[in-house]
Each structure stands twice: as C-alpha cells, then as structure tokens.
Structure 1
C-alpha cells in the first residue's frame, strides 16, 4: 500500500478525498494513520473523536458561543470605556490623559479587548511609586511584565504604550527588552 502526503493546513474532508483518489493508500495526519478504506466518519473520529456531523455541530456551537460573547463584550464597551478612563486618573500622568481617553475605546475593540490597558495601568503604577528606588521599580516592572505573559505582538504593544504614557516608560521598556 502506498503512502501519500497531506498538504500543510489540509482539512479532513480534503484528506479523505486524497485518500479516495489515491486508493489503496494511507497517510499520516496529526500523528494518526488514515487509510483509504476508512470512512469519512472513521477519519473524523480518529482525529477529533467525533463523527463529521458531531464535529460540524461542535464547530457551529463554538462559533455561536464566540459570536454571543463578542456581542456581549461590545455592548459593554461604553461602560468599560468610562471605567478605564476613571481608573487612569492618578496613574496616567495628566499630560497623557487626553490621548488615553481617545484610545481607550479603540483598544477595547481590538484583538486583545483592552488587555493592554490593564497592563499599562499596572506597570505605570509601579513606575509612579517613588517610595522605591528607580532600580527597584525597574525590577518590579520587569517581573510584572513577565507575569503578564505576553506574546510578541502584545509585548510590542505594551512596550510602545509604556514609552508613550510615562516619562520612565522608555527606560522600563529598554530594561525589559535587555533582561
């Protein structure tokens, strides 16, 4: 029996079609061996532990849940906007509040749903704590940044915001990048 290769990113339906077109054959898909003698449901069960119909229903429910949660979140944006604007008072320096107020609703509507707003407020609160030495604030900011668990994209976003919203922000961003 010949072995076939499935394309990167290929779906199960297309893999099944390739198996049928090249029968008799087999191929490896996500670490599982699929055979041309397998039914479409057999293939789905091997990979997803669900029949095709069950998997399609699962995806439909997941999509509905996602869309419902997104709609609920979007409905909360006006309230969240006011909350973030209020929380920023006393944390974000006065000279940056106008820009903060402008970007809050924009940040709430993007991929991260405003996660970076919390990160900025937390990190800038550390920078504002003049009861600690600048070195201690840098170390605390670094540890807080690490604990926030950023991806490359969110890290870049948070670091650029630090530079924009606080006089010591660029210094903290460089400290984070160098440590």
Structure 2
C-alpha cells in the first residue's frame, strides 16, 4: 500500500531507543545525537521506493556524516511476514548499497510506533537537542533516475545543523506501508 508521511509537530522530542544491528551490536539514539543533529531513516529491503533511493541515500548519508550529522536507519517491518526484510537480508542490503551508517532491527516495532513511522522510506531530521525539524522526502526524483534532483533532505539537514531549525516548506516522503504485526 502506497502512503505519504503525515505532517507532524515540529519541535517534537525524539524518543530514546536502543536497537541492535543484524550482528547484535547495540546503538542508542541519544549517543548518536551529535552537535550537528541526527537523521533517522525508517527503511526496509523489499520496498521498491527504498530500492529506488538506496544508493542516493547512502551517498547523501556519507556527505552528511562528513559534515558531522549522524545517521541511523531503522527497519520496523514484521519480517516474519516479509522474510526479505529479516536481519540476514538487511546485512546484505546494507553491504550492497554501501551503507556507512547502522541499519537497525526494530523487532518488536516499538521504535517505529513511538516515532509514528508509517512508510518506507520515512525520514526524521533532528537538531542537536533531539527536536524534530524535518519530516520529508529524500529528494524530488522519487522513483525516477536522479538527474538534476533537488536534494531536499541534504539541504534540510544542513539548515538544521547551522540554525537548529528545519525548512518551512517540507514535502512528504512516499513509500510502502510499514508491515505491522
């Protein structure tokens, strides 16, 4: 099912979480909330919208990380329903797309629910105080080839890093619904 992300309250405080990657290494949200902010991306392996942007996300994330903006990805789908979203496939997907950021398993779906994630991809941009400043799309290319794309997420995260505030105009992300238990 195709969904758009809903509008949310700017300034909403990021709920704390600790999740593990497919290898069992734990990552805590607050430990990644750096001086330049934090991007949390809810993604999965099977969604054609995520597959279409995965390489662009990896490239943009490396650029953000080089500027001191941290990135975490969370997979909240019920992988007993969609096996290709299970941890072994997450590990392959991250390697295939050269992810430089942790790709975390939300097995009980508590993090996805706490954040109000609705689709994949679903991007949340936080300032250094953990206040939501961006909930939008990666870019305007969507499923198309990324020629001359407007890098909305990069621009928003840079603005957040520099001012603590996100852009006034934000376009919702679009993708597959999260597969809840």
TM-score by length of 1: 0.25
Greater strand share, structure number: 2
Structure having greater relative contact order (Cα 8 Å, sep ≥ 6): 2
TM-score by length of 2: 0.25
Of structures 1 and 2, the larger Rg is shown by 1
